[in-house]
Structure 1
Amino acid sequence: MTAAGGRRLRGFSTHLVLVMILITLPTIGLISALDYRQVEENLIAEENRLWEQTERSVIQSLCLMDAGLNLFDCTLDGQMQEAFVPVLAEYRRAGGDPEEMDLAGIKEHLGEGMDVYVINESGVIEYTTYQPDMGLDFRHMPDFYDRITEIRLGDTFTADRIVAEPASGRLRKYAYMPSPDHRYLFELGLVCSSVETNRFDPKYLALKDDLVPLNPALKEIRIFDCYGRLVNATESESPADPAAVDLVARAVYEEKQSRTLADPAAGRIIRYILVDISAAGSPSDVSRVVELTYSTAPLDARLTQMLLTHILLALSAGLVACCIAVPVSRQITRPVQDIVDDVDTIARGDLDHPIRISAGAEFIRLEESIGAMVDSLKESIRRLRASKETARDYSTRLEDLVRERTVDLEESNRAANLFLDIMVHDINNANTIAIGYTRFLVDALEGERREMAEKMLSRLEQSSAITRCVATFRQAVESESTLTRVDLDRVIRSEIANHPAARIRYEGQPFAVLADDLLSEVFANLIGNAVKFGDPAVEIAVRVEDHGEDILVSVEDTGPGIPDEMKQRLFTRFGGGENEMSGLGLGLYICRMLITRYGGWIRAEDRVEGHPEEGAAVRFSLRKVWEG
């Protein structure tokens, strides 16, 4: 279907399909997005639960390993306490000077698996049979230093836990005994035999092998001691550097708070967990910090797979919805299309074409409404035709009547113009003769009779002025001449010459303006009013100023001035009023009409601003004609 402007319009069926698709597709997309979000949350929660289970298993395993090691640990306490007897005897023999002690002899007496350490008051191993620990300063381990200082100042034997050496990874049992003078602390270190080590050493490798199958995301397990040093977990690993400290593991131990480090670029998450297996009374803290490295790749793969599955399902559902929307929309719009076809037939002029009845209450009501509209249209057409005939007859009679009235009006206008021409001509001739005789009487009479003659002369002159204004007004109304170039200087000088007795000062320049022959009437009225309403000594000034596109003309006098309340209505028809200024109305109205016709403006002002009693000023503008 094409609109009147040539724009192709979509059918209602197409719009309905689009609406159904626009509703269905976002709904399917929203449902898919919400379902994916739920699946995503479930997978992440499942992954977190698996991590929690893995961490609980690690903690339980380390606690069980430590419990088994502690059972073996206690069996060595008596042996360690007896071993201090020769150490104390040698200290007494050396006179309390560790430098004089035969530590090598003591080691030989105690056996190759036993080493002797002498720790001074500063917490430094000053003498030992195990050279790698010579000079070891325990002040770098504040908690351990405080504990051994407390033992040195006491009087009792203290057994320590079996710990792994950072350098070699061997298990060693330590015990402490203060010197009698409390200046030194003796330490014995018993290296566990290989049989004992194999039997009681924590099997961290087995721990990793047991947990990885249960959690595929677990990639690495590392164990750190309380100082952040990596514990050699298996024989396959090389000995750890005692000076190498994992700062994160150390911080986890000190803060007693687990940490999680994410590395999205590498696709891994590292968890640090503190396993507190410290024993009260033991100088060494055998607590462990476990580092678990998880890979996010399995979870990401599952999320990606679920996302693709949801996208495919959403696309499939959208395609099915589009396929269903087309036949459904056609079924819904078929009755509407039938009605449109019937209405088109009626619109082509077949008003008797019936509207097909469809199923559905709404369509039945629509069809009944269209039928009623067609019946009303038939009646309206019948009435319109009747009205058209009536209007045609009335129009014919009206044209004849207008034609007759126009002829009468033109005849009346011609008669009125004839009477006006006769009246103006004859009255003006009579006034001219009467004025001449009256002036002769004014010169011939004296006293009261002369005053009466002067009044009569004034009235006759006023009558002559009115007649002239009427003639000018008629000429201005009926004039159809176009505006032309007029010499403003010549017009002003010519009008000043008509008042030889008046004191007129002209300040002008030779400008040409856009006007016609009636421009002189403007100056005749303005100068005439200034002479008429001023005393014999009145002074009149005519100024012409250049204002670019316009010429500003001012006619000023030193007469009685114009009250402020009269300035606004002075240029309206009969706006002069009935006071001593009466008579200004018609002449100034003609001035405004002419100036407006010339494209300018006119207004009355005080000659001296704010002092109306010092004279009046009438200013108006005219459009300048450029020479060239």
Structure 2
Amino acid sequence: MSEKLHFSNLIMGIIFIIIVTVLLAGIWANYESSKNNFEANANRLHAITESYINNSFRMIDAGLTIYDNTYNDKMRDAFVIVMEEYNRSDGEPSLIDLKSLKTRIGGMDIYIINKQNIIEHTTNPGDLGLNFSIIYPDFAEYLNVIRNTSGFYPDRVVQDWTKGILTKYSYMPTPDHQYIIELGLISDKFAGERMVVQYSDVVDDIMVFNPYLEDVLLFQKQKRLVYNTSYIPTPEESAMLDYLLMENRTTQVVRDQALQKTIIWIPVDLRSPEYPADMSIFSKLTYDDSILSGELRQMALLHGFTAMLVLLLGGFIAFMVSRKLSKPIEQLAADVDAITAGDLNHPIRQVQGYELSNLAEKTRIMVERLKEQIRKREASEQRFMDLVQFLPIGVFESDLDGNVTFANPAAFELFGSDFNNSFHGINIFSSIIRQDLDRAKEIYTAIIRGEKTVGSEYTCLRKDGTFFPVLAYIAPRSENGAVIGVRGSVVDVSRLKQIEAEVRLLNVELEKRVAQRTFELEEATDELKAFTYSVSHDLRAPLRAIDGFSALLSIKVESRLEPDEREYFEKIRQTVLYMYDLIESLLYLSHLNWQELVREDFSPTHLISDVVSSVKEQNPDSNVIIIVDELPSCYGDMMMIRQVFTNLINNAVKFSRKRSDPRVEIGAIKDGTGTVYFVRDNGIGFDMALADQIFKPFFRLVRTDQFEGSGVGLAIVYRIIRRHGGKIWAESTPGAGTTFFFTIPPHEDIMMQNSSE
């Protein structure tokens, strides 16, 4: 086993890690911040340099533009003389004496350019036949634009195409627009006066304030180096200049990682729509990246040295602080170790520091409470032992082999042994008869494995040789997570067995009585069916005879009868019909008791429509409005449910017919238990005190001379709903109408009920 880490070393390690982590994180953050600042400053310096070049070159060009324009008047006057000679030659340049004309205009070179942008005549033989469409397409396009105009078009002082001499050019189309005459002014003053402001001064300035800048080259459009016309661009420079001139005049960056160089091309676009000459400057700035890399390396070394110092300082601080913190904790730990070893009276010494002294005090309080808990536990164990000793049932404990390790007096008494004798050497299987022994051992093994914990019944043998039944409940007994035996109770169930035998005899007698009562009930039911059939046959026959004879008699003597006598005959017939309906209703009500339910799922909406049509046919004079809502399906006997709606709708129509606006509504609502169907009317209503009486046979709320009826209709409805397992009730207000509600259990409830039965 590896040696445990000492607390002081742990504290020292934690403090060292915290100090080193925080300080190294700070150093690293400072390094990253400094590095970012160095790089940001270098980038900012590059941006300032590029902006300074752009702005400075534009200012220089603006000054040179003003200077170049000072020669415009002189050249405009020269064009007057040239144009007079052109007109005098009738537009034929070959007839003009260009040499003498050059002398007359102060030595300016004359160039006559035809429509193909070719110099057709000139005082400068070296430029004769020069085709601008090939060598200078932009300039050729400019010539095409001004050819059909008239006027004076000055240009800038530029280096000529062949010799690079500073020349001031101007242009004027001929009146017949066949040619464009170009004049070129060469002056010794150009080199000196234009050098007052130089691009090289800007270059010198930026080389001074930007230490990362290694070299600056300035190119013109003709790929000539400013102030050095003999310089020949490298292939890379030539390719970049072509790209900038022809495709994209934006800043381009080229990095050479191997040489640690960064080249930035800055095109200063100085083109002007007023002049054909392109005075743009293309600056090539070469930066030495190794300077910045060296500065960053020096800064990294400085931060690394600082980190080494931090490690040494952190270790020293961690050692000192850990010693200061660990000494009182180690003292407190030694006191706690003594207490955990069993010496609860060992004192807790005072330590420095509020938190540690508070911990020491809480530890003392905890020890005192632990002593109190031990005293209470010992007292509780004593009470438990006293309780077990006086329990009237046997309580025992055994090891894994079944050897008894504890038993209370009731257990000894149960088996006829003396409690004063030791229970050592007694095994729980020794008192079980041989027939139950294997089963007892199997159950005991299963309980130890945690597979069985229910009580088991065995037959045991007392010390005096008598047998008796017992019921044993045992459970595994564990220590430190391991099963070491069982603990249980054992009860003598001899009296319980005797009671069970008596109950079985009583059950046999009860079953005989139930069978006898069932037989008698079936006989009574058969007799009732026979009686019902006899009543229905014997009573209906005389009624039909009375109805028939009274009808014949009234027809035969109708002319001789007085009005009151006719009324007597009518009352006889109405009474016979009432009795006939009463008998039919009673027979139907009686038949409901044994009629089989044929349940099915169906929609009551169509069924109710048929009932409503039948009711309206029976009451043609009624103006009742019957509203039938869309009803959910139900599960029941369709014919019986039809009878329910028939009786309830007939009642609703009957008791609301005296209203001026009789109204009946059939619908359904949902509540917490399911679907509740209802039939509502605005008839006479009734007192809710009679709500429990209206479903009894022959109970009537009104006299028959007011509203006809047998008094059995609601009883039939009640019987049908109850046979379906549903509920029915009424809510009514006298004079305002009545609503009958009823429920029919859904299909799922019926299936669940049948499965449970």
What TM-score range do you get, normalising by the shorter chain? 0.5 to 0.7
Q: Does residue 1:307 correspond to 2:300, yes or no?
A: yes
- Correspondence for 2:335 among 315, 334, 342: 342
Rounded to whole Å, the distance in 2 between the matches of 1:346 and 1:273 is: 85
Tell me the residue number matched to 2:268: 275
| Alignment partner of 1:122 is 2:147 | no
Q: C-alpha offsets along residues 83-118 of structure 1, whole Å, 9 cap, x if unaligned? A: 345644554566544456554555566566x43322
Distance change (3 Å), C-alpha of 1:40 and 1:241: closer
The 1:166/1:384 distance shift into structure 2, 3 A limit, reads farther
Q: Which residue type is aligned with residue 325 of structure 1?
A: A
Alpha-carbon separation, structure 1, partners of 2:426 and 2:40: 99
1:355 to 348, 369, 374: 348
How far off its partner does 1:250 sit? 5.2
Letter in 2 for 1:398: F
Against the structure 1 CA distance between its residues 83 and 394, is the aligned structure 2 distance closer, same or farther, given a 3 Å change threshold? Answer: closer
Q: What per-residue deviation string (whole Å, max 9, x for no partner) do you get for residues 102-154 of structure 1?
A: 54555566566x43322221223344415257423246655433332233222
C-alpha deviation, 1:315, in angstroms: 3.6
Residues 360-402 of structure 1 show CA distances to partners (whole Å, capped at 9, x for unaligned) of 3443235415643785799699999999xx9999698112444
1:368 pairs with 364, 371, 374, which one?
Answer: 364
Worse-matched range after superposition: 208-217 or 120-129:
120-129
Separation (CA, whole Å) in 2 of partners of 1:358 and 1:232: 87
CA shift digits 1:559-585 (9 cap, x unpaired): xxxxxxxxxxxxxxxxxxxxxxxxxxx
Check the 8 A contact 1:90/1:101 in 2, yes or no.
yes
Report if aligned partners of 1:249, 1:272 keep a CA contact under 8 Å in 2: no
CA–CA separation in structure 2 for the residues paired with 1:115 and 1:282: 19
- The structure-2 alpha-carbon separation of the partners of 1:370 and 1:182, relative to structure 1 and needing over 3 Å to count, comes to same
Partner in structure 1 of residue 10 of structure 2: 15
For 1:42, the equivalent position in structure 2 comes to: 37
Q: Name the aligned partner's letter for residue 238 of structure 1.
A: S
CA distance in structure 1 between the aligned counterparts of 2:5 and 2:162, rounded to whole angstroms = 85
Which residue in 1 is equivalent to 2:424? 399
Larger mean CA deviation between 328-337 and 368-377 belongs to 368-377
For residue 290 of structure 2, the aligned residue among 281, 285, 297 is 297
1:266 is aligned to 259
State the AA in 1 paired with 2:52: S
1:323 and 2:319 aligned: no
Change (3 A) 1:383 1:95: same
State the alpha-carbon separation in 2 of the partners of residues 96 and 291 from structure 1.
Answer: 48
The SS at the match of 2:48 is helix
Q: 1:327 to 1:383 in 2, by over 3 A?
A: farther
- Closer/same/farther in 2, CA of residues 240 and 413 from structure 1, 3 Å limit: closer
Preserved CA contact (<8 Å) 1:17 1:325: yes
Higher relative contact order (CA 8 A, sep 6+): 1
Q: Which residue matches 1:176?
A: 171
Q: Match for residue 153 of structure 2? A: 158
Counterpart amino acid of residue 372 in structure 1: E
How far did 1:232 drift?
3.0
Gaps of 5+ in 1: 1-5, 417-628
Q: Tell me, yes or no, if the aligned pair for 2:24 and 2:307 is still in contact at 8 Å.
A: yes
Pairwise mapping of residues 63-212 of structure 1 onto structure 2 (< 5 A)? 63-84=58-79, 87-88=82-83, 91=86, 96-99=91-94, 101-104=96-99, 106-107=101-102, 114-128=108-122, 129-131=124-126, 134-138=129-133, 141-165=136-160, 168-193=163-188, 195-201=189-195, 203-212=198-207
Query: Given residue 364 of structure 1, which amino acid in structure 2 is its aligned partner?
Result: A
How far apart, CA to CA, are the structure 2 residues paired with 1:384 and 1:133?
131
Q: Deviations over 1:158-191 (max 9, x none)?
A: 2211113365443110011222321111112222
CA contact (8 A) 1:84 1:177 kept: yes
Native 8 Å contact 1:167 1:240 kept in 2: no
State the Cα RMSD in Å: 4.3
Q: Is the 8 A contact 1:203 1:233 kept in 2?
A: no
Segments ≥4 residues shifted beyond 6 Å: 241-244, 376-387, 390-396
What SS class does the counterpart of residue 218 from structure 2 fall into?
strand
Find the aligned partners of 2:265 and 2:234 in 1 and give their Cα distance: 20
Q: 2:21 aligns with which of 21, 26, 30?
A: 26
Aligned residue number for residue 230 of structure 2: 238
CA pair 316-334 structure 1, distance change in 2 beyond 3 A: same
Mark the CA change 1:151 to 1:42 in structure 2 (over 3 Å): closer, same or farther: same
Tell me, in whole angstroms, the C-alpha distance in 1 between the residues paired with 2:296 and 2:233: 41
Cα separation, partners in 2 of 1:167 and 1:214, compared to 1, 3 Å: farther
3-state SS of paired residue (1:308): helix
Preserved CA contact (<8 Å) 2:215 2:286: yes
Structure-2 change in CA distance of 1:7 and 1:77 (3 Å)? same
Q: 1:454-469 residue pairs with structure 2 within 5 A?
A: none
Given residue 43 of structure 2, which amino acid in structure 1 is its aligned partner? N
User: What letter matches 2:296 in structure 1?
Assistant: L
In the aligned structure 2, how far is the partner of 1:240 from the partner of 1:179?
Answer: 39
| Alignment CA distance shift 1:72-1:90 (3 Å) | same
Q: Which amino acid aligns with 2:38?
A: L
Write the distance in 1 (CA, Å) between the matches of 2:304 and 2:214: 31
> In the alignment, is the contact (CA less than 8 A) between 2:112 and 2:182 conserved in 1?
yes
Give the stretch that moved more between structures: 313-322 or 210-219.
313-322
Cα distance change of structure 1 residues 394 and 60 upon mapping to structure 2, 3 Å threshold:
closer
Normalising by structure 2, we get a TM-score of 0.45
Q: Is contact 1:267–1:296 with CA below 8 Å preserved after alignment?
A: yes
Deviation at 1:213, TM superposition (A): 0.7
Task: Name the CA shift for 1:78/1:242 in 2 (closer, same or farther; >3 Å).
Answer: farther
